[in-house]
Amino acid sequence: MQLFYTVRPGDTLYRIARRWQLPLESLIAANHLTAPYTIYAGQQLSVPPGIDKVRVKPGDSVFGLAQFFGIPPSLIIEANQLRPPYAIQAGQLLKVPQGTPYYTVQSGETLFEIGRRFNVTTGGRSNPELIKKVNHLSSNTVAPGRKLLIPYAPPGDGGFIAYTSNRGGTYDIWLYNPDNGESLQVTTGLGEPFSVPFWSPDSQKVAFVGKNKILYVIHLTERSISRIDQFEEEVSIYVNWSPDSQSLTYTSQNQIILYHFPTHQSQKISQPGATDVQWLADGTELLFQAPDEAGVSQLYRMGSNGSRRRQITQNTGGPLHYVRLSPDEAFVLFTTPGASISLIYTLELSTGRIFEIKGGPLAKNYFPVWSPDSSAIAYSATAFEEAGYFSLIRTSGKQGENDHTKALSNCFATPVTWSPDSRKVAYLSGCSTEETANEMWMVDLKHPVPIQLVKGAFITALQWSPSSRPPSKKTYTNSVYHVQIQYPSPWKRVSDERYEGPDGFFQISAVASQKSIYDICRDEAFHSLQPYGSSPRLVGANIQQQEACFIFPSEDQPPEMNGQAALIVRYPKPVEMEGTTYNFFILWADRLHINQLSTTLIFL
């Protein structure tokens, strides 16, 4: 429930915000105030979570602290379970509530107006039904002077937040739906406190390391779970999905592992000390951290087949942790040197320039993550040791500009995650009596009032889905070529054999030849016109239990080919078309969709 502070004579918004170490814009947004932001004595203000603890100094008393913070002494007494004569000791850490947990209705107010003013809104619309429910009201009519509990409302945003919690009795992966505020348990007894959910780009799957250090993948549409690998070492493992959502990459025992779902095959690349391995957008290259020959931590790029390894940093300092590539691949962020001091830097790949993020006052900055549009970074910064540990939820531009606090958490540090529209940040809080959080919050950067989403059980990790809604697909059936394919619904028909969309395309044909599939693939890949560039990459595969091969273009592919890649598959049974026998089916598609399309291919 929201807390309400009663304005005293002489109060200003700035003074109230400073008293609780709140961002001023957050206090303004919490009450829907407009310029010139005038407040008056006796007015009740909703106060977002701030620094609600104080270290007692010599001479302090409950009455004096209550006077300073402008709250009834009874709130401090109750919050700290003090007994008469309510003596407090120097050095003692006291909880000082920011106000009372109810709002007093004023003359002429309606539940609709109260909900709108105090952000009890879902999808941008006032949600008075929630106020009625928590206060057990039978109608929308409410009398002046009535004291109301004011809840937080589900924000109504798209997508889902996957989080790790023990709310069902054991640690598991849950999905929070911002549309209705409900949570759905999607595993049973498979999670651990260290489990971190990792969404696939198509928002259809979630990977995590859980019980017995096993890497699991949840297939949300099928409601099934796959076991991928098991680890012997520590389990703080970063898992990254390929752009087509068909492969995972991670590190284990000094190796980079690439696991391909359609073929259930793993590729292993020896790379001692590698961490934070992740795919680039074309699906043929990786970025990762590893020590150089001198043992100094560096960043590298490498082909997904282990070729073309090249160093991209000249680091001479401490180790590079938490390496994350921006979605537009223009920047890389990392933290250094370690836990007690953790600074955030970004590296501009095109120039090699390095920028420092200002960070919090204690130089303890953790869990940085890029916004989906690559314009900003959100992170947690530990602060306020004297009042007990709190962390600032901060955002910064990619070069360290506009670094500001947007909200506060009462945890030492908290993971953060962006909404698909790059407008909101979710984070954890509720660490006042335990080291582990028991609350999930969200702040909208354009209207920065913190909204509580989940409360009541331990929560250790969270990640928002990449898309607002799982992408819908349509079915393409061609009885001439005897195939069926699922393709993105926005794509439109160009001809019977070709479909195009704003982000890709596909086209089909067949090959009449008695050659081996190896020769067919080489003939296509190394055509004299070089449609795939001068050095395309061939990858053997098995599609629908038939031998197949992928052709991926090289970097010098002509731009007019629009990133075309190809898949050639032997027909289960040769196909007759106009008196000619065709032994091979060929699918052309842009390189970002070729793998995804291949997983839906069915021979009729």
H or E element, residue 74: helix 73-80
Give all strands of the β-sheet with 198-199 in edge-to-edge order.
198-199, 205-209, 214-219, 224-230
Token code pair at residue 167:
């709310």
Calculate the dihedral angle through the C-alpha atoms of 212, 213, 215, 216, rounding to the nearest 10 degrees: 30
Q: What is residue 433's predicted lDDT score, i.e. its pLDDT? A: 61
Q: What is residue 427's predicted lDDT score, i.e. its pLDDT? A: 97
pTM: 0.78
For 313-368, what is the HEC assignment?
CCCCCCCCEEEEECCCCCEEEEEEECCCCEEEEEEECCCCCEEECCCCCCCEEEEE
Contact (Cβ atoms closer than 8 angstroms) between residue 114 and residue 120? yes
| Strand ranges (E), 37-157 | 44-47, 53-55, 93-95, 103-104, 121-122, 125-126, 147-148
**Residue 76, φ and ψ in degrees, nearest 5:** -70, -40
DSSP string, 10-52: T--HHHHHHHTT--HHHHHHHTT--TT----TT-EEEE-S---
In sequence order, the β-bridge partners of residue 487 are: 474
* Helical ranges in 500-585 per DSSP H: 517-525
Query: Strand pairing of 602-603 and 483-488?
Result: antiparallel
Residue 604 CB neighbours (<10 A):
10
Contact (Cβ atoms closer than 8 angstroms) between residue 174 and residue 160? no
Token code pair at residue 45:
């203000």
Identify residue 18 by its one-letter amino acid code: R
Q: What is residue 585's predicted lDDT score, i.e. its pLDDT? A: 96
How far apart CA 96 and CA 55 sit, in angstroms, is 10
**Residue 517, φ and ψ in degrees, nearest 5:** -65, -30
Contact (Cβ atoms closer than 8 angstroms) between residue 99 and residue 6? yes
**Residue 351, φ and ψ in degrees, nearest 5:** -115, -20
Token code pair at residue 599:
């997983």
How far apart CA 431 and CA 429 sit, in angstroms, is 6
Contact (Cβ atoms closer than 8 angstroms) between residue 181 and residue 160? no
Of 393, 376, 272, 381, the residue nearest 333 (C-alpha): 376
Q: What is residue 472's predicted lDDT score, i.e. its pLDDT? A: 66
Judge if the upstream peptide bond of residue 262 is cis by omega within 30 degrees of 0. Answer: no
Q: What is residue 375's predicted lDDT score, i.e. its pLDDT? A: 95
**Residue 316, φ and ψ in degrees, nearest 5:** -120, 5
Q: What is the mean pLDDT of each run of 10 residues along the chain (604 residues)?
A: 92 91 94 91 93 89 89 90 90 89 91 92 90 89 92 90 94 93 91 95 93 92 86 84 92 93 88 94 90 95 91 93 93 92 94 93 95 96 84 95 94 95 95 83 95 94 86 83 89 94 92 92 93 91 87 91 94 92 95 84 90
Contact (Cβ atoms closer than 8 angstroms) between residue 438 and residue 133? no
Residue 226 CB neighbours (<10 A):
15
**Residue 580, φ and ψ in degrees, nearest 5:** -110, 140
How far apart CA 178 and CA 468 sit, in angstroms, is 10
H or E element, residue 586: strand 580-590
How far apart CA 316 and CA 504 sit, in angstroms, is 42
438: three-class secondary structure by DSSP: strand
Q: Is 567 exposed, middle or buried (0-12, 13-18, 19+ CB in 10 A)?
A: buried
